[in-house]
Amino acid sequence: RVAGVALAAMQTGGDFSDEFRLVQADGSIRWVVASGHCYLDADGKPDRNAGVVFDITERKAMEAELLEARLDRDIAMEAAGMGRWDHNPSTGQRYWDKRSCELFGVPEPGPLDFDGFLALVHPDDVEGVKAAVVAASNPAGDGLINAQYRVVRAADGALRWIETFGRAYFDRDQCIRFVGVGWDITDRKAAARRLESQEETLRLAIEAADVGTWDLDIRNDVLTWSDRCYAMFGVPLGTPVVREDFYTNLHPSDRAEVREALRRTLDGRIRADYDVEFRVIGRQDGVERWLSAKGKAFFDAEGKPTRMIGTTVNVTDRKRAELHLRLLVNELNHRVKNSLATIQAIAGQTFHAARSLPAAQEAFTARIIALSEAHDVLTRENWEGADLMDVIDRLTALHGGGDRFVLDGPPVRLSPRPALSLSMALHELATNAVKYGALSRPGGQIMLSWSVDYAAVPRLTLSWIERGGPPVETPTRRGFGSRLIERGLAAELSGEARIEFRPEGVECTITALLDC
């Protein structure tokens, strides 16, 4: 090759230059560059060569290192999917490497000016890109540009997210060059959106479940609460809290149990799960709440606790429901015992006073049905009480309806005990009227009226008057029904019941406390 360069110069004359290696006497190799001129004689034949030789070994070494560095850079950028770009603001010209062109879906060498580049940017992101370029071009700033934007690939119309990082270079406060890299972050953006969606779903689920989260830094005694925890403990949002603040908010009766649960959880030999229910008194609002807390502790290599995280759930409504259920069960037990005692008394009196077994069975069945009807009225309202009109409506429906009864009285609310007793009393009066009184004949009627005296303790007065039935004779002995009304009702209702057997019809007056 070197000889060829020399021969070519000798044939035509003129300048020549070539770089080549020389093997030194010691075996080392040096790079040199030989530059000179070939002079021809009058006949056009080579006469002489004159020139210089320079040792360029160090330059060649630097060029080799630079080439290796560029190769390493290109390999790294290719592995990272990065493309390089170079922009000259004064001319508007841009250079894109192959990867940059692939990112934007354009053929090489890519758009040659800034406007061509902006045409590829999604319309909604153009202004943001312009603003980032203007800011980086300001010599008063740091000259850095870092922007994320969408592009519509020219090749296939695909929407991709690109992130760009670059630097501006200045000369006399003028931006003379922009260089940087860009890469595709579409997958990262999609992953971020999925994560945001999952976090939002988790946040909504935690909020819907009234769950608070907490994180205890044991070494520094710093307790981090979520917003829900602050609300549960009645502490102003953002107030710094430590473990002792947590203990302070606990109900005094629950502190020992909670401290013991925490001790077992933080003991490196036990490492029990933290699972405890306790009451707190809101620091700011003073409201008592039931909370259920679950957590887990983390330990270092020496078995010392370093951190504890967990959740807290507001279970106040559940605790109230459990208390209500216990009260209902206790009340049910009490009422079942009372009902059984009532049935036992009805059975004993009915069968003891009956003239025959069939008559006793009929009377007993009717009384049990009446008791059941009264229970139905109360059960419909969760045994919280009953309206007097509901009790009377059930009675009139069984005995001829509204034509046989004349009703007069205000709305009255009865507690469970008076409702049961009045139901039984009205049943006995109606049963007697069907057999012997006003309801035993067509046209007979019962005037049923009532009033309430609220002067001191609310007291009900109820009047039962029969008319249109057969003449009434005073019985020689009191039956079970009469005794139930006059004695039992008076005892049950802290009141008085009086039955009069007038010739024109039976009359009964009952007075009773409304709430007993």
pLDDT (tens digit, 9 = 90+) per residue, 1-55? 767 777 777 777 778 788 888 888 888 889 888 888 888 887 788 888 888 888 8
The backbone torsions φ and ψ at residue 211, rounded to the nearest 5 degrees and listed phi first, read -105, 135
Residues 360 and 471 placed together within one structural domain of the fold: yes
- Looking up residue 273, the CATH number of its domain turns out to be 3.30.450.20
- For the residues 206-233, what does the mean pLDDT come to? 91
Residue 235 has pLDDT above 60, yes or no: yes
Please report whether residue 203 resides in a domain.
Answer: no
Domain ranges, residue 28: 2-62
- pLDDT tens profile 417-464: 788 778 878 888 888 888 889 988 988 999 999 999 988 788 899 999
Q: How confident is the model at residue 250 (pLDDT cuts 50, 70, 90)?
A: very high
Give residue 514's pLDDT.
80
In a domain, 42, yes or no: yes
Residues 104 and 135 in one domain: yes
Question: What is the chain's alpha carbon radius of gyration, rounded to the nearest angstrom?
Answer: 52
- Among the candidates 286, 314, 342, a domain finishes at 314
Partners of 275 in beta bridges: 294
**Pair 129, 121: CB distance under 8 Å:** yes
- Tell whether 306 and 328 lie within a shared domain: no
Token pair for 456? 């001191």
Answer yes or no: do 469 and 328 share one domain: yes
Is there a single domain that holds both residue 94 and residue 57? Answer: no
> Which CATH number do you get for residue 22?
2.10.70.100
- Tell which wins on pLDDT, 272 or 387: 272
Residue 307 covered by a domain: yes
Q: In this structure, are 332 and 474 located in the same domain?
A: yes
Strand, coil or helix: 262: helix
pLDDT at 188: 92
Cβ atoms of 85 and 165 closer than 8 Å? no
Q: Which of 499, 336, 335 shows the shortest CA–CA distance to 426? A: 499
In tens, the pLDDT along 275-316 reads 999 999 999 889 999 999 999 999 999 999 999 999 999 999
Per-residue model confidence (pLDDT) at position 479:
60
pLDDT reported for residue 504: 94
* CATH number assigned to the domain comprising residue 353: 3.30.565.10
Confirm whether 399 is domain-assigned.
yes
Q: What is the total count of domains within the chain?
A: 4
Contacts of 389 (CB under 8 A, 6+ apart): 411, 412
Q: Does some domain include residue 204?
A: no
Contact 181, 162 (CB under 8 A): no
Identify whether 199 is part of a domain.
Answer: no
10-to-37, 52, 160 alpha-carbon distances in Å: 9, 17, 61
149 in the same domain as 110: yes
220 with 170, same domain: the answer is no
Q: How far apart are CA 369 and CA 416, in angstroms?
A: 17
314 to 68, 209, 233, 284, 292: CA distances (angstroms): 65, 9, 10, 17, 6
- The pLDDT, as a whole number, for residue 136 is 92
Residue linked to tokens 């005094």: 252
Does one domain contain both 267 and 303? Answer: yes
Q: Which residues contact 139 (CB under 8 A, 6 or more apart)?
A: 170, 173, 174, 175
**Encoded amino acid at 104, one letter:** F
Cα separation, 192 vs 189, in Å, equals: 5
- Mean residue pLDDT of the chain comes to 84
Same domain, 371 and 475: yes
**DSSP codes, 244-258:** HHHHHHB-GGGHHHH
345 band by pLDDT with thresholds 50, 70 and 90: low
> Which of 344, 420, 440 has the alpha carbon at shortest distance from 379?
420
- Per mean pLDDT, which of 90-99, 194-203, 347-356 is the most reliable? 194-203
HEC secondary structure over 6-61: HHHHHHHCEEEEEEEEEECCCCCEEEEEEEEEEEECCCCCEEEEEEEEEECHHHHH
Confidence of residue 349 (pLDDT cuts 50, 70, 90): low
422 with 491, same domain: the answer is yes
For tokens 């006995």, what's the residue? 428
Residue 337 in domain: yes
Least confident of 163-177, 228-242, 267-281, 465-479: 465-479
Residues 376 and 429 placed together within one structural domain of the fold: yes
User: Does a structural domain hold residue 140?
Assistant: yes
Look at residue 74 in the predicted model and tell me its pLDDT: 67
Cα distances (angstroms) measured from residue 98 to each of 75, 101, 182: 13, 5, 12
